[in-house]
Amino acid sequence: MNYAKLLAVAMNEARIGFEEGGVPVGAALFAADGRLLGSGRNRRVQDGDPSLHGETDAFRKAGRQTDYRDKILVTTLAPCWYCSGLIRQFNIGTVVIGESANFAGHPDWLREAGVKLVELNDPECIALMRRFIERSPTIWYEDIGVPPAPSMP
Amino acid sequence: MNYAKLLAVAMNEARIGFEEGGVPVGAALFAADGRLLGSGRNRRVQDGDPSLHGETDAFRKAGRQTDYRDKILVTTLAPCWYCSGLIRQFNIGTVVIGESANFAGHPDWLREAGVKLVELNDPECIALMRRFIERSPTIWYEDIGVPPAPSMP
């Protein structure tokens, strides 16, 4: 499987998200043969919807599936607990991660559940996410559930 | 806090879901003072959307929040890994569980992350979910990511 080609689909979603002013995390779900089932991106800013991370939007767009063990989820950024829980509950067989430099995620927890992880350490994914975190730190921390620091006394 | 009163809001969502032919899990997110922020229900059948469990729909309906540590998430059924991941990522402080007889969930994993769990063991929640699992076992297993058994040779 050409994972870099699959990542390009997720990265295109991330770039659109960045241009929209949103959190630039994109994702896509593929069948075992590489057929695209659905792609999506984080929609916190665009739709005011905190439930849609890149991974959950791609999962949603792919519609109802009865078995995910042979599916491939590709995401531009390492999955948070929310998206890791999605992967584990639905037994998504393979997860391709564009980068985990800006957010480490929980790879050991996924591996222990039998998920195959492919880490691509992609420089373009790293650079886009870094630009976003520098541009919009408040939105980024909101998106991963880190509350604002209390103001100084 | 009158948790039974909060559960009634989630249970109302679950009942509507049952009547719609859907998976009857309802949930609601409340502020620390008991003010309702959003309620929702599983929408796999109704919207063909596998990303919306009761908990994630309630989370969505509550919109963007900057801090969940003082919030109360009420759900009619113990949260699966997907919804447990949501709770853990966003540090939702308190989770009220209508029942865990039909689905055990992952209470230890949530407790170790510092989540306060309130288990109500509600007979009406148990009965409604049981009726659904008997009526629609295939949809129920699809909703928790259990693939159909291979047909006999």
Domain segments of chain A as ranges: 3-144
How far, in Å, CA of B71 to CA of B31, rounded? 5
Within an 8 Å CB–CB cutoff, is residue A64 touching chain B? yes
Catalytic one of B19, B20, B55, B142: B55
Q: Which fold has domain A3-144?
A: Cytidine Deaminase; domain 2 (3.40.140)
Half-sphere exposure of A138 (CA within 13 A, CB side): 7
In tens, the pLDDT along A40-66 reads 999 999 999 999 999 999 999 999 999
Residue contact A81–B85, C-beta within 8 A: yes
Percent pLDDT > 70 in chain B is 98
Provide the pLDDT for residue A23. 98
> Does the annotation mark B55 as catalytic?
yes
Nearest residue in chain B measured CA to CA from A58 = B51
In tens, the pLDDT along A117-141 reads 999 999 999 999 999 999 999 999 9
Angle formed by the axes of helices A3-19 and A123-135, nearest 10°: 20
Residue contact A60–B50, C-beta within 8 A: yes
Summarize the confidence of residues B3-20 as an average pLDDT.
Answer: 98
Within an 8 Å CB–CB cutoff, is residue B57 touching chain A? yes
Q: Which residues of A101-133 are buried (b: 16+ CB within 10 A; e: fewer)?
A: bbbebbbebbeeeebebeebebeebbebbeebb
Query: Is 90 exceeded by the pLDDT of residue A151?
Result: no
Q: Closest to B89 (Cβ–Cβ): which among A44, A69, A144?
A: A144
Can you give the pTM of this predicted structure? 0.96
Concatenating the DSSP letter of every residue in A24-90 gives: --EEEEE-TTS-EEEEEE--HHHHS-TT--HHHHHHHHT---S--TT-EEEESS---HHHHHHHHHT
The answer to whether the CB of B128 falls within 8 A of the CB of B101 is no
Give backbone dihedrals phi and psi of A73, rounded to 5 degrees, phi first.
Answer: -100, 125
